[in-house]
A and B are shown apart, each in its own frame.
Chain A
Amino acid sequence: MPKSVISIGPYHPLQEEPEHFQLTVEGEKVVDIEVSVGYNHRGIEKLSERRSFDQATFVIERICGICSTSHPFAYTQAVEDIIPVEVPERAKYIRTIIAEGERIHSHLLWFGLAGHFLGYNTVYMWMWRLREEILDVMEILSGNRQNYAMFKPGGVRRDIKPEDIPLAIKKIDSILPTVDRLKKAILDDPVLHARLKGIGTLTKEEAIAYCALGPTSRASGVARDVRKDAPYGAYDRLDWNMIVTANGDVWDKAVVRLLELYESIKIMKHCLLNLPGGEIDLNLKSIPPGEGIGAHEAPRGETFHYVRSDGTNRPARHKVRAPTFMNLPTLKATVPGSSIADAAIILAAIDPCYCCTERMAVRSADGRKLYSGEELLRLSREKTSRIQKELGKR
């Protein structure tokens, strides 16, 4: 059977790092995948070395919009690890609140887009509607819908005002019943079961070999979560569960994210209600020479920052490792062997930058265009409706 190559990308709205996927297909089956990145390379590591430790947080924030807290969180911890110092209790709680708010909106966003790919636009609209409430909460607490600018080495920049808390709690509570309803609707939908179970499976061994992170690894049964393994922030003072499932298929990745939503809501509410008093900032004056490492469990997995200081007010070296960097190669294990119709959702399941599908084009070996990007999305949706018909739902 002739092999053809499908190029996905590089431009798609919504992704952190525009990537370019090349799927080699044989008929309907994907036999190989090649990922290339670099469409989003802005030299952040170099830029961060031009700025002072304090200013660098803003550069770091703009690595990724959805994880705009995760990177500063890891970075500030790395800087604090150089000295080393512990930030004040109140600052820890505020950091935790912002980080969990981000996790909630990121997971909701993922659900919305996954629904979009599968042809469930209702899910898309509902999830993004819920997400608006969380973004409102973030605007109330931090002053912006995204890019919160709350973190600084040694504490946080802004305090959470006590008068804002009741409104924030009210907004968080208002999404709970809808999330509940959606959870039930998603978990007992036979079509989704048929569509997602058993595809894109990442086994436990593969997850360990590829050093997969975050929900991608937890869905494969690897209990790996920095918040539990090496507690930081306020996470060791709270009561919450790590969600781990066994199968590693797309369904499990979705379930992990769905259940994590509840944990995050729980953590966020608890922190808001039990915010300790005191200082919010240590007012660090100088950073001694040395090196430090910080890690934070971002919605997509662990972010890892290594900062070297040479005693000046600028980082001498700053290495950033985003979770997707480790999760993307797992596609090599999950995508080959699946059908093209499933490829979109498997790519999406690691929560990379999945709007790839908007600009996909399938080419045969001689470069002739066979399918457009919409076509691939259509294939994915057709499969859903086919299953729906088979199950007699429509």
Chain B
Amino acid sequence: MTREEVLSEIQSRFGDVILDFFDKSAKRVYIELQPRALVPVARHLFAELGARFHIASGMDSRTHLEVLYHFSVEALNLLVSLRVKLDKNDPRVDSLASTIKAAAWIEREMHELLGIQFSGNQDLRRLLLSEEWPAGVYPLRRDYREWDPGAVRDRGV
């Protein structure tokens, strides 16, 4: 399958849920999806095209919470990034963990650091932060403020 075939197949199969298709360069493609369509598209990439799941990266972009899922089709040397934009007040997206085992941890991490809810992921325990970290404070959000009055932010002498 060539690069064009892969991309046109994605476009024809999921054309109605693709919000934006950005063909950045020969190696990079960014596809913006409706959040509800994430799982079927990811499954298509992972199971049918044999793409490898790299990682997901969450980001607070002032208006939305964005999650990018990066896949690479190794035979074509092509990196496909699926982008979903979530509502900041109720960031919720379907979990990929049941489709792709490797996504379980990163969903835990994003849940913890950005406060994104992954419906269907049963194991959203804390991964990185300590027990004393207050609930509802997400360090990677833009509006994060220091919450610990005991923190020392100079050299400490």
Interface check B111, CB cutoff 8 A:
no
A209, A306, A321, A329, most chain B CB atoms within 10 A:
A306
Interface check B13, CB cutoff 8 A:
no
CA distance A210 to B106 in the complex (A): 13
Interface check B19, CB cutoff 8 A:
no
Contacts of A211 in B (CB 8 A): 52-54, 100-102
B127–A36 touching, CB < 8 Å: yes
Interface size on B, residues (CB 8 A): 34
Interface check A92, CB cutoff 8 A:
no
Q: Digitize A13-46: 1 where CB-to-B-CB distance is under 8 Å, 0 elsewhere.
A: 0000000000000000000000011100101011
Q: List 9 A-B contacts (CB under 8 A).
A: A38-B128, A81-B25, A81-B28, A224-B52, A230-B27, A293-B79, A317-B57, A319-B58, A321-B106
The dominant DSSP class at the A interface is: mixed
Interface check A240, CB cutoff 8 A:
no
Contacts of A210 in B (CB 8 A): 101-102
CA distance A43 to B74 in the complex (A): 31
CA distance A139 to B152 in the complex (A): 34
- Given A211-B101, A230-B27, A319-B55, 5 other A-B residues pairs in contact with their CB atoms under 8 A: A43-B139, A209-B101, A229-B74, A293-B70, A319-B68
Interface check B124, CB cutoff 8 A:
no
Q: How many A-B residue pairs have CB under 8 A?
A: 76
Interface check B11, CB cutoff 8 A:
no
A191 CB, nearest partner CB in chain B, Å: 35
B140–A230 touching, CB < 8 Å: no
A37, A41, A209, A319, most chain B CB atoms within 10 A:
A319
Interface size on A, residues (CB 8 A): 31
With both beta carbons as reference points, the residue of chain A lying nearest to B112 in the complex is identified as A38
Interface check A165, CB cutoff 8 A:
no
B101–A319 touching, CB < 8 Å: no
A80 CB, nearest partner CB in chain B, Å: 12
With A46-B139, A329-B104, A329-B105 as given contacts, are A308 and B59 in contact (CB-CB < 8 Å)? Answer: yes
A321–B54 touching, CB < 8 Å: yes
Interface check B126, CB cutoff 8 A:
yes
CA distance A325 to B101 in the complex (A): 12
B39 CB, nearest partner CB in chain A, Å: 17
Contacts of B59 in A (CB 8 A): 308, 316-317, 319
With both beta carbons as reference points, the residue of chain B lying nearest to A224 in the complex is identified as B74
Contacts of B105 in A (CB 8 A): 325, 328-329
Interface set, chain B 53-85, CB cutoff 8 A to A:
53-55, 57-61, 68, 70, 72, 74, 77, 79, 81
Q: Digitize A35-72: 1 where CB-to-B-CB distance is under 8 Å, 0 elsewhere.
A: 01110010101100000000000000000000000000
Contacts of B128 in A (CB 8 A): 37-38, 41
